[in-house]
Amino acid sequence: MSTHVDVTRSAALYERALKVLPGGVSRNAAFRDPHPLYADHAEGCRITDIEGVTRLDFANNMASLIHGHADPDMVRAVTAQLRKGTAYNIGTEIEVRYAEYLNERIPGFDMMRFVNSGTEALMVGIKASRAFTGRPMIAKAEGAYHGAYDFVEVSQTPSPANWGDADEPRRVPLVKGTPESAVNEVVVIPYNNIDRSISLLERSKDKLACLVLDLMPHRVGLNPADPEYVAALRDWTKKNGVLLLLDEVITLRSHYTGLQEQYGLRPDLTAMGKMIGGGFPIGAIAGRRDVMDVLNPRSKSYVYPHSGTFSANPISLTAGLAAMEKFDRSEVARLNGMAERAIASIREMIRQTGARASVTGGGSMFRVHMKATAPTNYREAHTTAEENKRVKVMLDHMFDAGFILINSCSCALSTPMGDAEVDDLLDAMRSGFEKIAAMP
């Protein structure tokens, strides 16, 4: 009797990857059991893997592909630029044109500088804040993700074992070996708790350069912040000369001028990334002219030398400008309307099936939690082993049904999608909730 076992192309590729990549991947978000999925090609809102299976993509490369895959407008624009070159040691007109466009589109943007990722945009924003204020410390919310930088990684993934008292969260490093000196330069505040946040900020007000804030942080639960909380923090920063550095790397897609529009907010600095690159790596930091002047070699305020080999490369900027021009007010409203309908439908199917779940979101994104009550802060959003088990059941169910979701059980819509794709998603989710409701 034959003992031959067929090995899929993906499994074979993963075996090769394990020999040259730690864990077989270059980013942990690609992990899947028993091995990662490998793309062959993608178009619109669908990805076909190397086994020939096509799935609807509601992850959109961690919410960065606002127009999905291989968008014809992006392909035409980038192809034309590729023939001219990919990067130069001199400036380009597209850098000026794109900066002009974003500054005109988003109120409060006086000046900006392009970088290569959302992480780098936050890094530059923090350093610019320190350079402008002459202060060393930053503040951030417990559980909020702001990229891969020692300071903003503090208390990114604390657990009940180490997060301390809810009123005074411990400063917990993400990576073993993080210098204690870096950890001590961070004030960690409890999200959506006005009194305690202000009290903690007050202790270090003379040392704080900036407060880094995401108005709908993914890891804190993808739930829009309480407007009163945001207003209180903004009032405090103005009163104490602390800069407000808004992280809109993900949330810029939420409104035509970013989620700050919903809050009537004009931060001192805004960090951007993801969708503003049209599918290519990019980041940008924008804000007040006097703050941004610390980067200006011709300014009397120049105290922050900054450069980057691929910053403002014409490929990312060409694709980005085409993407943002195409993401006009009508498309923003259309995607947001589909997401609102999806959220309402998910709430109703949770009620009907009796699944222990809830849903949060805003703009064109939403997240399913395996909790009966939607979380409003990181500790409420933190998942138990039992909840993680139910999340995996839903993710595996959706994957088998032909859908790719973000690993937190979140969805990010893209413009190639219409009501039909959202309805297909909802149909599959209903049967997933039925499975979860039947679990012990």
Which domains are seen in the chain, by residue range? 38-66+328-437 (3.90.1150.10), 72-326 (3.40.640.10)
Task: Work out whether the CA dihedral 238, 216, 109, 306 comes out positive or negative.
Answer: positive
* Residue 236, pLDDT score: 98
Q: According to the model, what pLDDT value does residue 6 have?
A: 57
Strands 46-49 and 39-43, bridge-based pairing: antiparallel
Question: Which segments of 278-362 are extended strands (E)?
Answer: 283-287, 358-362
**pTM, whole model, 2 decimals?**
0.96
Query: Which residue type is seen at 392?
Result: K
- Helix 419-437 to helix 329-353 angle (10° resolution) is 20
CA distance 392 to 411: 15
The low-confidence residues of the chain, meaning pLDDT below 70, are 1-6
pLDDT tens readout for residues 114-148: 999 999 999 999 999 999 999 999 999 999 999 99
Q: What are φ and ψ of residue 96, in 5° steps?
A: -70, -45
Structure-block tokens of residue 337: 């309307």
pLDDT value, residue 32: 86
d(CA 332, CA 326) in angstroms, rounded, equals 10
Phi-psi region of 214 (alpha: psi -120 to 50; beta: other; left: phi over 0): beta
**The pLDDT value given to residue 273:** 98
Give yes or no for a cis peptide into 34 (omega within 30° of 0). Answer: yes
- Tell me which residue of 325, 274, 275, 378 sits closest to 98, measured CA to CA: 325
DSSP H/E element including 257: none
